Structure 1
Amino acid sequence: MSDFYAEKIETALQSYMSDHPATSTRQQAISTILENWFASHGYLPPQQEGLRPEDLDASNDD
């Protein structure tokens, strides 16, 4: 990888970490970015979130 691209990627990574304060380490940021990319491109199943407990009622029972 050329120094130009390495610098651009490092800048983008620092921007990502600034925008996502819960991402505390560089490795965690890279892992999150890769997981999101793989999921959005079909290499990983999309992350699914269920209903929040306050949204559950008898109509949700099967």
Structure 2
Amino acid sequence: MNVVHTEKIEAALKAFIADHSGALTREQAIAAILENWFTSHGYLPPQQEGRRPEDLDASNDD
């Protein structure tokens, strides 16, 4: 990777971390970015959040 691209990527990475209240380490930010990209491009299944099976009953039906 050439220096221009490296500088742009580093600047974007720092901005991403800042947008997340600086709560992410560099490695966590990179992992989050990759997970998002892989998911949005079909390489990872989307994370589904919902109720645990033991918490389901007829009142949960749509």
- TM-score scaled to structure 2, two decimals? 0.79
RMSD: 2.1
Runs (4+) of structure 1 exceeding 3 A deviation are: none
Alpha-carbon distance, 1:13 to partner: 0.1
| Deviations 1:20-47 (CA, angstroms, capped at 9, x unpaired) | 1264210000000000000000000001
Q: Work out the CA distance in 2 between the residues paired with 1:38 and 1:23.
A: 22
Secondary structure of the residue aligned to 2:48 is coil
Alpha-carbon distance, 1:49 to partner: 1.4
Where does the alignment leave 5 or more consecutive residues of structure 2 unmatched?
Answer: none
Where does the alignment leave 5 or more consecutive residues of structure 1 unmatched?
Answer: none
What is the aligned partner in structure 1 of residue 7 from structure 2? 7
**Closer, same or farther in 2 for the Cα pair 1:23/1:44, shift >3 Å?**
farther
Q: How many residues are aligned here?
A: 57
Identity of counterpart residues, as a percentage? 65
